[in-house]
């Protein structure tokens, strides 16, 4: 949005004079810059409050004798009726033309309808700021930070409500997408439009535990009433080469061994607490949205969980499947720890078998595990792990093809969505609350926050 600087500059000079007078009145001849900044912020808050009031009160123009009601009847002008909203400029009280008298019994204020205002409620502009604090911090901690940013107080319950409202909008968007991608007509229309799709697309799935506190009285009566549920997380992303000048020390070490280092870009996260069957529908729908069914090469990098590979095989049977290299290599380290008391023997075995795995010689890795099976339970258990994933561990072949082999992007996603927000100290969630906060946070991480903000702006209009 562009503004007339010639009109704004005189306002700025006048505000500077007001603040200077206020500081002198306070007895501060040479206030520090922080004092000046706070004084300016407080003044601008009051100016914004007054300006928003004037804007809304002047938006009516001349009142008409009657207007059409949403039901098709007629509404008659009553008076300029007072309303209150909570905005980024604190509580704003304004008067606007109000109409009533229709047989349906509903009244109407055209200004409220035009700007998506719901009297007595938080505005969409304030809601977006409140919800950002709610997806990043505990609700009470977010409330305290908001007070510093906004210079007025917002309750913890308001932070919770507005954040969950964003999550509900994302949940509805997910449900609409799933429903749409189940329709043959929608898929055919999409094929005809031929939206662009990347040449190579990656997908990754994982899950993390969330503590759920039952809410109904019967569940609360049970002695051990807390439960842990899997929040399933998925991510679609592309890959790009990391330029040498941007590489970290660790990445430069990887370059020497692997020749090239890739990083993820254009990440799109999705999540839910649901059965694998239902989550699979979301996997398919979000995949269609990013063109996963039309890319030349689709690659999934995941850990060894059976439910994950079952979903991938069902919805994207032609995808290349890769078990995350770091999971596979870490298991060898744990086997070595368990099987060898002597450090030198342990390191020698680990170096040799890790190199076999790096070269994709999984059969040799299995033989080594079989040799240790009698003195290592983990080696015995790993026979099926490596055996079931032989073709998913052809790492030399995958590297030659230029594919990523690590699922760090989904590990990071789980940490950002679950560990950093849903697993804060003392955090306990209702099932619905955990899902909504997770979905709102996933939207933020995916760069889709503005879509939720736009949808939030339309809520009162649709009501």
The pLDDT value recorded for residue 28 is 61
User: Of 17, 38, 58, at which residue does a domain stop?
Assistant: 58
The pLDDT value recorded for residue 215 is 64
Q: 120 in a domain, yes or no? A: no
The pLDDT value recorded for residue 269 is 98
Q: 22 in a domain, yes or no? A: yes
The pLDDT value recorded for residue 394 is 98
The pLDDT value recorded for residue 461 is 53
Q: 451 in a domain, yes or no? A: no
Q: 39 in a domain, yes or no? A: yes
The pLDDT value recorded for residue 61 is 86
The pLDDT value recorded for residue 23 is 81
The pLDDT value recorded for residue 261 is 83
User: Of 380, 395, 410, at which residue does a domain stop?
Assistant: 395
Upper half-sphere CA count for residue 103 (Cβ side, 13 Å): 3
Residue range(s) defining the domain that contains residue 38? 5-58
User: Of 344, 368, 395, at which residue does a domain stop?
Assistant: 395
The pLDDT value recorded for residue 2 is 76
Q: 305 in a domain, yes or no? A: no
Q: Please count the structural domains in the chain.
A: 2
Q: 152 in a domain, yes or no? A: no
pTM: 0.88
The pLDDT value recorded for residue 463 is 45
Q: Which residues pair with 97 in a beta bridge?
A: 80
Q: 67 in a domain, yes or no? A: no
Which segments of the chain have a pLDDT < 50? 462-463
CB 70 within 8 A of CB 110: no
Kindly report the backbone phi and psi dihedral angles of residue 198, in degrees, each rounded to the nearest multiple of 5, phi listed first.
Answer: -65, 160
Q: 29 in a domain, yes or no? A: yes
């Amino acid at each position: 949005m562009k503004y007339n600087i010639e009109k704004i500059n005189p306002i700025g000079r006048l505000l500077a004079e007001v603040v200077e007078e206020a500081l002198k009145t306070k007895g501060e001849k040479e206030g520090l810059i922080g004092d000046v900044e706070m004084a300016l912020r407080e003044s601008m808050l009051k100016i914004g409050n007054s300006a928003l009031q004037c804007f809304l009160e002047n938006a009516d123009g001349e009142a008409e004798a009657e207007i059409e009601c949403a039901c098709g009847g007629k509404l008659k002008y009553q008076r300029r009726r007072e309303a209150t909203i909570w905005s980024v400029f604190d509580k704003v009280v304004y008067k606007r033309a109000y109409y009533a008298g229709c047989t349906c019994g509903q009244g109407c204020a055209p200004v409220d309808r035009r700007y998506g205002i719901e009297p007595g409620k938080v505005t969409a502009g304030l809601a977006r700021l409140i919800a950002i604090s709610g997806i990043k911090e505990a609700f009470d901690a977010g409330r305290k930070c908001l007070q510093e940013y906004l210079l007025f107080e917002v309750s913890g319950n308001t932070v919770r409500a507005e954040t969950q409202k964003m999550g509900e909008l994302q949940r509805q968007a997910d449900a609409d997408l799933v429903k749409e991608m189940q329709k043959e007509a929608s898929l055919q229309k999409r094929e005809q439009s031929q939206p662009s799709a990347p040449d190579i697309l990656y997908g990754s799935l994982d899950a993390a535990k969330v503590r759920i506190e039952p809410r109904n009285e019967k569940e609360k009566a049970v002695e051990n009433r807390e439960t842990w549920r899997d929040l399933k997380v998925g991510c679609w992303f592309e890959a790009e080469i990391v330029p040498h000048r941007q590489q970290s020390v660790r990445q430069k070490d990887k370059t020497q061994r692997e020749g090239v280092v890739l990083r993820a870009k254009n990440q799109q996260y999705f999540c839910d607490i649901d059965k694998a069957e239902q989550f699979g529908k979301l996997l398919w729908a979000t995949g269609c949205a990013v063109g996963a069914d039309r890319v030349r090469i689709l690659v999934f990098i995941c850990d060894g969980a059976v439910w994950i590979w079952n979903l991938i095989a069902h919805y994207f049977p032609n995808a290349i499947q890769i078990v995350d290299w770091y999971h596979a290599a870490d298991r060898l380290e744990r086997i070595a720890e368990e099987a060898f008391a002597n450090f030198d023997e342990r390191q020698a075995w680990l170096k040799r078998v890790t190199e076999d795995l790096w070269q994709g010689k999984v059969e040799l890795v299995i033989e080594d595990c079989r040799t240790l099976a009698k003195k290592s339970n983990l080696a015995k258990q790993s026979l099926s792990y490596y055996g079931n994933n032989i073709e998913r561990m052809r790492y030399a072949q995958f590297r030659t093809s230029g594919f990523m082999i690590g699922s760090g992007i989904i590990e990071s996603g789980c940490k950002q969505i679950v560990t950093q927000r849903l697993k804060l100290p003392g955090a306990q969630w209702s099932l619905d609350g955990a899902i909504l906060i997770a979905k709102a946070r996933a939207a933020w991480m995916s760069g889709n926050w503005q879509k939720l903000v736009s949808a939030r702006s339309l809520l009162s209009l649709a009501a």
